[in-house]
Structure 1
């Protein structure tokens, strides 16, 4: 009985084992091989895969060659439902590529064969892309859409495509002419370095066109005939995004050109060598919005197909396997007024040191002009400069004094000198003796009596100065501006000579010309001005990527002071009544003070405040020259970095600007 039972159990085991073997038709191993193949294609590394009759290393090189143009991108590849037919199997491979903003999806059918108990992949280039043949590769082409314009007030085109001529040596046109001689002649004609350009031409390939310079078509003095007289020289017409002139608002707008090495490195793969992008200013800050997205075309073609063969063919020998349409950029709308911006730049054209003119509309905060003079060397002095504001800051002092109960008619003491902790402060050279002694606050303001304002330091604390500055819209952030800017820094704490220096806009007090214009504008408006330059900072898909960080440039401010973080908006902004009192005092600067030259400016009465701030260690010290003014619904600040007195240096520039502005 026992032996019979054992025999029965053994028979059951044999039958069950045979049944399991019948169920395992090899599908499991085939599916594992299919998954391995899918993973290998996803990694673009088929070295570990066994192929029927093919060397894995050779196949691996072919795979890399097919997809080389798509680097560094890789696909995701999933194996679908396997179909088994004896020792053969087919499996769909589902590819997904991330190409620009789109997905490229396709399915190919891969074949597997069983050999000696192992499942081997059967090599077919069509496993990589639909209908790909032996000897074919994929190529990737991109083309940028036309860059969007930067617009000004009234949607005036500030930066738009304008005609240019690319002038250079076209080496195939040289014939038997000497390349170095032609390059030297052309360089001398267009004003570039002859030795450097000749070297560049020599180092370029035989088929190259070597650019020497890009000239604006409008107003160019170098003619096509002059260019054609030089063997191999050529001018090629093109259009590029340009402002109305080479200097027009350049520090604010930036420029467009080939991406720098630093930009490419910082772009996380978004930019490559040769890509055109914004460089500095709004062009860089809003580059993605202005640039849009490139079209992308992926083609299959013979690996040995040359550019010349493609050009010569009646029909394109390549076939398109995937493409992404371009997305146009979105124009950037700004408040800059082309006429006022040009006027500001013309006004500063002859100024040697760093300089700026900023004009804004107090009622709206619109920045109409933000010009930095030629001495700024490309730096945005107008918006990013950090300078001691000198006596223009007495507007802030005066607001604090008004808040302490004074009026423009209150009496203050104006002495020739004043000593604070051993340091002697004095009034500017030529201060009128008739305005010394007990004078009204209005008179002290009109003639800019330093000692009268420093004498108020015991009743006006440093924190009150900070609060008054914030109340006038400075030393705060500029959330509506849409561009990088410095709106000032006023310490909330300070004692002794530092506090005394703050009362005359020196010490650690810093403003930019933009901040000075805001300060004057807040008086005209009767409320703090919130400046605005960019009207649509969130337009387009790219605005979220704009950082608003300024780009480092030559000609940075001379001040070595690191400003404190700007304070937040004041809980007690300037009132209409306070602004009216300050407006009365600013008008007195013109009617009875040392800005009388502004009395002849046509139109609305002008109110102003001059400022002179010492800097550096020279004896006598150099000075920043300031003047701010309000003229109807216009507030203007003029600044010259090394400029003597505000009234005598910046004043005439302001008068010239206001008179021409109308």
Structure 2
């Protein structure tokens, strides 16, 4: 039966011409026998092409032979054995006629073996004349030489071991480990209790699995989930007692644990329509392919190309007569990242202490290389650290300070801190833990994170002041990473209220934890650098012009004194750390909540942490960073 899963484009020329070349029989020269036999052979070549096309039927090709039913089935069986997606069949030269009723012509055949590649051969079509009609002799040799009446072709596809994803030191982050694909038998063999167990123990939607099983053809294995072999061993006594549960073993490229760098490394599953397209022309619908993260982005590089053999076998003994096709696979190539294994472990361990959703990103300030990116406390495929779009809150006062310093203010410029400030009818206030202190400098406003002090200076900035300042930190550009990441945005404010809100990282300002870490890195290094996760793949180098030296010096002082005597005192005792806290108001389900932020650097390592629902940066993000910094050097 012809398969329908392949997606192949054949030109109309190919289908109508049967891939016959200009030297095919049936042309204007030659004897009447050559012309007549050549015409039927050309028709047969066309019909063969159509038979092996997606959704093709062999009946038309069979009807051109002297034994239609037998030959049609034979042609279809060879198609199925080869798992051919398309074929080209080109008659070569002119027919050679032994007499007036028997002519032969060679056929150049090229079949695309799905998931392997092209197999080429030459067969011979024999046209015989019965009465006034020419027919193709219904022989297996017409399809492939040596098939005869009973021999058959057997295809074997082999996959090379998947290459590893490596850390910055060449240490393998992934390896091919034993897995178990758990599913059910199609039809109604599985019971309600079976599907309930899938929901309870494997976090699989039992109702959807049941619907798929009932809709699947009889005798099929309906896969539900792929898990590590050691995890299956814990569940096996319970699951295997239930009706309809089936399993298949195998290997899959996996990190050492199910949680390690999951949102960066990504996941693998049996190919779907979308992931099969991404996997390239030699992938198969049965393959385990990357579905997210680096496993998806570098699927073809990591997977390599499959090999395969086709053997001609004796129809009676089932023994191989000879191997007629042999294609060696090519090994996948590793993908080297900038991740630091120890720092990644430290980041994940620090996030495990949080009861709220949180992310931590660490980058090398001088290069922009990403050292760690973690999401917690539970691992998830969604990479909040790279893709989250959050109001950065008071961490954005790093950018605001740079904007004010660029406008002519200095570290000692008076910035009064009041309880509230009104901007064209909109009242802004400070975070709950800060009481107004009146007169003070820009440095004090930064150390204490006074919203009203910074907003009081909004009229000193041009309309595009915050947008331009943000661009000096790389904010607002496409990060261009090999996996999806959000670089933030600071739109031109439509009015003074939006401008005021942007000065404290609220309103229309958004950024990912990665983007905020890069803000801190810019202060540390003096120049914003493009983030790099995969060297040679991701763009590298400066993302903007260097910050003015005086601005860099001021911001470094601001951030260091915020740790020694300001809102980031929780990090004191962890070396020469410089940081800025942040609390951002957000609306969740119609209610105002807060996210806690902290960004900073130590040595050449810059970092950012966000805690969704955190009361403040110092209380929520601070302890996580303290744990992280105490674990890394």
Q: TM-score range by the shorter chain?
A: 0.7 to 0.9
CA distance in structure 1 between the partners assigned to 2:61 and 2:224 by the alignment: 49
CA distance in structure 2 between the partners assigned to 1:85 and 1:180 by the alignment: 63
CA distance in structure 2 between the partners assigned to 1:113 and 1:429 by the alignment: 96
Alignment of 1:445-524 (within 5 A): 445-479=446-480, 481-524=481-524
CA contact 1:353–1:375 (8 Å) conserved in 2: no
CA distance in structure 1 between the partners assigned to 2:64 and 2:443 by the alignment: 95
Partner of 1:32: 39
Alignment of 1:283-294 (within 5 A): 283-294=295-306
Per the alignment, do residues 245 and 458 of structure 1 end up closer, same or farther by CA in structure 2, a change over 3 Å counting?
Answer: same
Alignment of 1:186-585 (within 5 A): 191=201, 214-215=227-228, 217=230, 222=234, 239-260=251-272, 262-264=274-276, 271-301=283-313, 316-317=319-320, 319-374=322-377, 377-433=380-436, 436-479=437-480, 481-537=481-537, 572-585=545-558
CA distance in structure 2 between the partners assigned to 1:403 and 1:106 by the alignment: 73
Tell me which moved more, 235-244 or 114-123: 235-244
CA contact 2:502–2:508 (8 Å) conserved in 1: yes
Q: CA deviation at 1:416?
A: 2.2
Alignment of 1:31-180 (within 5 A): 31-44=38-51, 45=58, 47=60, 54-69=66-81, 70-87=83-100, 88-99=102-113, 102-162=117-177
Partner of 2:614: 643
CA distance in structure 2 between the partners assigned to 1:608 and 1:322 by the alignment: 64
SS at match of 1:413: coil
Per-residue Cα deviation, 1:16-69 (whole angstroms, up to 9, x for no partner): xxxxxx9855333333233233333333346267767x2435423332222223
SS at match of 2:440: strand
Q: CA deviation at 1:262?
A: 4.9
Per-residue Cα deviation, 1:148-201 (whole angstroms, up to 9, x for no partner): 10101201111112356789999xxxxxxxx999x98xx79x955899799999
CA distance in structure 2 between the partners assigned to 1:204 and 1:55 by the alignment: 31
- Is 1:601 the counterpart of 2:578? The answer is no
CA distance in structure 1 between the partners assigned to 2:236 and 2:61 by the alignment: 62
CA contact 2:44–2:64 (8 Å) conserved in 1: no
Per-residue Cα deviation, 1:342-398 (whole angstroms, up to 9, x for no partner): 111111113233210000111121101100113574421111000000010111111
Partner of 1:652: 623
CA distance in structure 2 between the partners assigned to 1:68 and 1:153 by the alignment: 46
Partner of 1:9: none
CA distance in structure 1 between the partners assigned to 2:438 and 2:242 by the alignment: 76
Q: CA deviation at 1:318?
A: 6.5
SS at match of 1:153: coil
CA contact 1:332–1:537 (8 Å) conserved in 2: no
Q: CA deviation at 1:420?
A: 1.1
Q: CA deviation at 1:79?
A: 2.9
Q: CA deviation at 1:221?
A: 8.6
Per-residue Cα deviation, 1:503-542 (whole angstroms, up to 9, x for no partner): 110001001000010000011111112111112439xxxx
Q: CA deviation at 1:78?
A: 2.6
Unaligned runs of 5+ in 1: 1-21, 171-178, 311-315, 539-547, 549-568
Per-residue Cα deviation, 1:571-613 (whole angstroms, up to 9, x for no partner): 64424442222111111211221212222113xx111101101
Per the alignment, do residues 318 and 277 of structure 1 end up closer, same or farther by CA in structure 2, a change over 3 Å counting?
Answer: farther
Per the alignment, do residues 23 and 419 of structure 1 end up closer, same or farther by CA in structure 2, a change over 3 Å counting?
Answer: closer
CA contact 2:89–2:107 (8 Å) conserved in 1: no
Per the alignment, do residues 648 and 297 of structure 1 end up closer, same or farther by CA in structure 2, a change over 3 Å counting?
Answer: same
SS at match of 2:416: strand
CA distance in structure 1 between the partners assigned to 2:96 and 2:551 by the alignment: 86
CA distance in structure 1 between the partners assigned to 2:399 and 2:142 by the alignment: 75
Per the alignment, do residues 525 and 38 of structure 1 end up closer, same or farther by CA in structure 2, a change over 3 Å counting?
Answer: same
Per-residue Cα deviation, 1:218-273 (whole angstroms, up to 9, x for no partner): x9995999999999999998643221211111111112222246535777876544
CA distance in structure 2 between the partners assigned to 1:239 and 1:377 by the alignment: 22
Partner of 2:560: 587
Per the alignment, do residues 50 and 451 of structure 1 end up closer, same or farther by CA in structure 2, a change over 3 Å counting?
Answer: closer
CA contact 1:333–1:536 (8 Å) conserved in 2: no
CA contact 1:42–1:77 (8 Å) conserved in 2: no
Per the alignment, do residues 252 and 58 of structure 1 end up closer, same or farther by CA in structure 2, a change over 3 Å counting?
Answer: same
CA contact 2:179–2:226 (8 Å) conserved in 1: no
CA distance in structure 2 between the partners assigned to 1:403 and 1:363 by the alignment: 23
Equivalences, count: 586
Per the alignment, do residues 212 and 59 of structure 1 end up closer, same or farther by CA in structure 2, a change over 3 Å counting?
Answer: closer
CA contact 1:224–1:235 (8 Å) conserved in 2: no
Per the alignment, do residues 240 and 271 of structure 1 end up closer, same or farther by CA in structure 2, a change over 3 Å counting?
Answer: closer
CA distance in structure 1 between the partners assigned to 2:144 and 2:90 by the alignment: 12
CA distance in structure 1 between the partners assigned to 2:373 and 2:460 by the alignment: 36
Per the alignment, do residues 463 and 570 of structure 1 end up closer, same or farther by CA in structure 2, a change over 3 Å counting?
Answer: farther
TM-score by length of 1: 0.78
CA contact 2:397–2:503 (8 Å) conserved in 1: yes
CA contact 2:411–2:442 (8 Å) conserved in 1: yes
CA contact 2:181–2:249 (8 Å) conserved in 1: yes
Q: CA deviation at 1:122?
A: 2.3
Q: CA deviation at 1:618?
A: 7.6
CA distance in structure 2 between the partners assigned to 1:194 and 1:253 by the alignment: 22
Partner of 2:22: none
Q: CA deviation at 1:635?
A: 0.3
CA distance in structure 2 between the partners assigned to 1:231 and 1:121 by the alignment: 52
CA distance in structure 1 between the partners assigned to 2:423 and 2:156 by the alignment: 71
Which has the higher relative contact order, 1 or 2, with Cα contacts under 8 A spaced 6 or more apart? 1
